[in-house]
Amino acid sequence: MADLNAKLFSITQAFQKFSFGVAVVLIVIALVALCALIFLPGRTGISGDYLDREAATGIWLAGGLVMSILFLVALRKLGKIINSASIGDPFTRENAARLMQIAWLIIAINVVQILCSMAGALFAHDARGGFDLSSIPWSGLFSFLTVLVLAQIFQRGCELRADLEGTV
């Protein structure tokens, strides 16, 4: 069983590091594209509709950049949880705090996603008018609630352990 846990932790650590690398690549791509959009010389004779689509693209790129950075921060915190769990006790106050921080990062990512969808759709003259129920990232909100509950469970477990150690 210990051998299986060690393999699972190594797979999890590898996936976390891979995801971290992907997030870094996405940040670099978004930065390059955003800089190109901002600093390339303006085009003459382009209609206002094109400029609106260019603004929408800029909003989506900036939002993607912000979301990627938030995702990167969440992955670093997750990496610390994985490391502490693989070498010892995962049920610590630090990990409970990290889970709480990850939950808030998840909700921040979802808020940025909603705002970028609305603003981008307005500039792109999307027929939907910028917002509808399909614009809400339901799985992200569920992830937020799940991680929030796990953080509270970790915190409560730490409190119970402290009480138990105090009575022994």
CA 118 to each of CA 42, 104, 115, 128, 153: distance values in angstroms, whole numbers, following the listed order:
26, 21, 5, 10, 35
Kindly give, in sequence order, each residue whose CB lies less than 8 Å from that of residue 54, ignoring residues fewer than 6 positions away: 37
Q: Are 84 and 92 in contact (CB under 8 A)?
A: yes
Assign 153 a pLDDT band (cuts: 50, 70, 90): very high
HSE-CB at 95 with a 13 A cutoff on CA atoms is 20
56 token code pair: 């929408």
Q: Where do the H-state alpha helices sit in the chain? A: 2-39, 48-87, 93-123, 138-167
**Boundaries of every domain in the chain:** 2-167
Interatomic CA distance for residues 64 and 9, integer angstroms: 29
Q: Are 23 and 68 in contact (CB under 8 A)?
A: yes
* pTM, 2 dp: 0.79
Question: pLDDT at position 78, please?
Answer: 93
Assign 26 a pLDDT band (cuts: 50, 70, 90): confident
Interatomic CA distance for residues 96 and 162, integer angstroms: 14
**pLDDT tens figures, 59-115:** 888 888 999 999 999 999 999 999 888 888 888 999 999 999 999 999 999 999 888
